[in-house]
Chain A
Amino acid sequence: MVDANRCLFCYDAPCTKSCPTGINVPKFIKQITTDNLRGAAYTILSSNIMGGGCAKVCPVEKLCEGACVYNLMEEEAIPIARLQRYATEKAIEEKWQLFERKAAIGKKVAVIGAGPAGLSCAHALSREGVDVTVFEKEAKGGGLMTYGIAAYKVTPQFCCDEVDFITSLGGIHIQYGKALGKEITLDELQQQYDAVYLAFGVGLARQLYIPGEQLAGVVDAISFIYDIRNNGYPTVPVGDQVAVIGMGMTAIDAATQAKRLGAKEVTLVYRRTQQEMPCTETEMNIALLDGCKIVWLAAPTEILGENGKVTQLVCHMVKLEEDANGRRQPVITDEKMVLPVDMVIKAAGQMPYEQLVHDYQLHHSNGKISVTANSISNITGVFAGGDCVNGGKEVVDAVQAGKDGAKAILQYLLDGGQTSSSL
């Protein structure tokens, strides 16, 4: 309450402008101060249906809280995420019915992927009276929120509750265990539905393309966290000396989870500096507090092993040199560093489902589906958004993509399927 009352209620607020989903932050904080918690929850969730989860996983330092004008006074920013949790947790816990569906308009849309983009799109469409079927390859909804983010941020129970909260609107039917290209095909969906929204995200961690990557003990961060989330802590093997490659949120999650699972030594290896790292300072500090080490300006060049098992990670030190555009690019030097390891976790970005995209003759760039500003793909009636388009961004970006997709799809449906792609 003290924090909520500190909010200055800025006009055309920088926090709102810095939120990819444009949550009216001053408004919901004001509503908290007036004990209008229901109103606050509506303000948040009507802009961002995953506002509950985003309040836990968003890199707010780089978004709303980073833009808070208190920073310019060198005072503590308003803890927007914490206030947002306060306002949304109760709504989700007590299953408040904040939204109402419009009368059915007799249209059906298929959504591929029950992650943030898919669910956001499904919710927005259902509110407008569209019947939505979501096809999800996993057994639970939530996407990377459920399977790709460390449990200290969001609990599995919360992820389930959030999915239930979203679907409680009605008009959204999720079919689990249905993967595109396996149990279902795009052709079928196009025949059975008035439109299709692709939101299947991205897959495994990016290949390093260095020798030794196939050795036992070299794992992918997404599968590592997926296994923990899906199978529980005791089943996941963890090494004594672990190297994590990358310095994004997923790298931090993998490193802290490895440490908490009993690794003696965890070293994060990143080829640039703190200035360029994708994770926030808060995240980095969590890793440091957990006892993880960080090696800056080091590029993995080879993984060595014995008897097929990883034993060493070889890195070359890097210096940053400005390229023609003034961007600091890593340049490998001769200086070498060898880390004795028994596990290497790759967390340097994720790979798009290139084969899938290619098979369906979707226009793409390096596996990322190409769409117009209105989320329209090159195939009529097929729309796309979220990580499968942007290559992997924040949950909050995916939620906004889902909203944009829903808007475009609705327009398409109301125009009688006339919108054609310019791609």
Chain B
Amino acid sequence: MAQKQFYSICWTVDKPAAAFKLFPMADISANFLGIRSPNPYWLASAPPTDKKINVLRAFEAGWGGVVWKTLGSQVKNVSSRYSSVDYNGSRMMGFNNIELISDRPLDINLKEIAECVRLFPDRAMIVSLMADNNRESWHELIKKVEDTGAHGLELNFGCPHGMTERGMGAAVGQDPEIAGRVVAWVMEAAKIPVITKLTPNVHSVVPTGRASVLAGSHALSLINTIQSVTGVNLDTFVPNPNVGGQSTFGGYCGPAVKPIALKMLTTISQDPVTSRVPISGIGGISTWKDAAEFMLLGATTVQVCTAAMRYGFRIIEDLCDGLNNWMDEKGFRTIDDFIGRSVPTLTSWEELDINYHIVANINQEKCIHCGLCYISCEDGSHQAINLSYGNPYNTYSIKEEECVGCNLCKLVCPVDNCITMVEQRKGEEYVNWKEFQKRGMPLNDH
């Protein structure tokens, strides 16, 4: 299928004679190691990508690519499989699963992959793999998968449950040496691009990332799920999900893990070795905004699972549309214009400017007198907000001399733009901590 040309309508004020003008929208297509997709959204290796019927519907809905659910040694799944964390009445802030890799026969998976590739040649088809822990198994599996016409391989070094007990999944990803060895086996056989998927269940993702890149992996993807216990049922005393009165550690994902994923992604984007290869970002991506953030921190494509499992494939519409409109607004023509753009702004704490100072300001006209800023500042340590009693509404104001500019009041305020942080520099020049100490500048006296 040819690259579709998108048009949007723009109102131009200066040309009343031709009030409507068409101009092409930003190009959101991705090129990942030569694997092209009409947009940077791939469905991550998971239940939505474990059979043809799903994948075809996803492609019809507009998804740019899929990572087929992991193929490998024979497994059998249990019931139940999922649990989640709700927060203040919102469902599935975090999601957890104990499902293993595909439990369907390998030959059926391979046949269906080939059909999907044939029917949607313009979409990315990556196949996730987790072979038994020996060279022959990997070589054999890679050969079979490549025969399907798939465009790339993703090595599952991240699955945190079930497979680890067999020395697979996260057990490989947690040991850089083993990971490097397995990648080396893969590279001996692979003719198509290889992506190594990293587990977050480590102190740092960088050592395994480096080992994988040094062993020849063409790209990295992260993060896989985080080992978790989502909660304990207070009636049965059994943690979730309950499998006949028992439970097991699951893999945590969904919106709750996004900040952790972004941090890990940044460390990969900043490392001199791992930053040499393209990255597919994963971890709680639910909206185009999440995707843009992953891309700003170095991801070339992004993978989505929980949001699609929750709402269905139709979410792809706004994922594309929103990204497109944002790129137009920012003047980005292609996704390469902004991939990695925010990486340099994340520095070490010691580089931060101590003279930069902000204080809170409460807009009294917008204030609804809920007192949340007051009590959070009061009990949250700084006591920088005045309370003037009223019935029934109190008035709150900032004690500027006490305000440390922490943002807490602004964060808890339920009214948009009611509390703003106003810059009041302590000094003109940039002074970081090292310089601050060198000059013997004054510390706090209370």
Contacts and interface: CB of A to CB of B under 8 A. Distances in A.
Interface of A: 1-2, 4-5, 8-15, 17-18, 33, 67, 69-70, 72-73
B243 interface: no
Interface stretch (B49-57, B138-146, B364-372, B400-408): B364-372
Interface stretch (B174-182, B353-361, B389-397): B389-397
Given A2-B89, A33-B89, A11 B375 contact: yes
Interface string B410-421: 000011000000
B374 interface: yes
B348 interface: no
A12 B394 contact: yes
Contacts of A9: 372
A15 B392 CA distance: 8
A8 to B, nearest CB: 5
A400 to B, nearest CB: 16
A69 B370 contact: yes
Contacts of B88: 5, 33
8 contacts: A5-B90, A10-B369, A10-B370, A10-B372, A12-B387, A67-B393, A70-B368, A72-B369
Given A1-B89, A2-B89, A73-B415, A18 B370 contact: no
Find the residue from B89, B90, B387, B389 having the highest chain A CB count within 10 A.
B89
Nearest to B376: A11
B370 A11 contact: yes
A8 B391 CA distance: 18
A23 B323 CA distance: 48
Contact of A5 (B89, B387, B392, B415): B89
Given A67-B392, A73-B415, A11 B372 contact: yes
Contact of A12 (B90, B371, B414): B371
Contact of A17 (B368, B375, B391): B391
Interface string B379-399: 000000001010111100000
Nearest to B87: A5
Interface of B: 88-90, 368-372, 374-375, 387, 389, 391-394, 414-415
Contact residues of A: prevailing secondary structure:
helix
Find the residue from A12, A33, A67 having the highest chain B CB count within 10 A.
A12
Nearest to B418: A73
Find the residue from A9, A15, A18, A69 having the highest chain B CB count within 10 A.
A69
Nearest to B414: A8
B415 A18 contact: no
Nearest to B375: A11
A69 B391 contact: no
Nearest to B234: A35
B229 to A, nearest CB: 20
Contacts of B394: 12
A5 to B, nearest CB: 3
B89 A69 contact: no
Contacts of A4: 89
Nearest to A64: B392
B329 to A, nearest CB: 28
Contacts of A17: 391-392
A73 B89 contact: no
A1 B86 CA distance: 13
B371 A10 contact: yes
Contacts of B393: 14, 67
B89 A13 contact: no
A67 B393 CA distance: 8
Given A1-B89, A14-B393, 10 more contacts: A8-B370, A10-B372, A11-B371, A12-B394, A13-B371, A14-B369, A17-B391, A67-B392, A72-B368, A73-B414
Nearest to A69: B368
Nearest to A13: B371
Nearest to B396: A11
A38 to B, nearest CB: 14
B366 to A, nearest CB: 9
Given A67-B392, A73-B368, A11 B374 contact: yes
Nearest to B393: A14
Contacts of A13: 370-371
Nearest to A63: B392
A231 B186 CA distance: 89
A149 B231 CA distance: 47
B93 to A, nearest CB: 13
A24 B414 CA distance: 20
A8 B367 CA distance: 14
Contacts of B391: 17
A5 B387 CA distance: 26
A1 B394 CA distance: 28
A36 to B, nearest CB: 12
Contacts of A69: 368-370
Contact of B392 (A11, A18, A70): A18
A13 B391 CA distance: 10
Contacts of A15: 392
Contacts of A8: 370, 372, 414
A12 B90 CA distance: 26
A10 B374 CA distance: 10
A18 B394 CA distance: 13
A191 to B, nearest CB: 44
Contacts of A72: 368-369
* 7 tightest Cβ-Cβ pairs between the two chains A and B: A11-B371, A5-B89, A14-B392, A11-B375, A69-B368, A72-B368, A17-B392
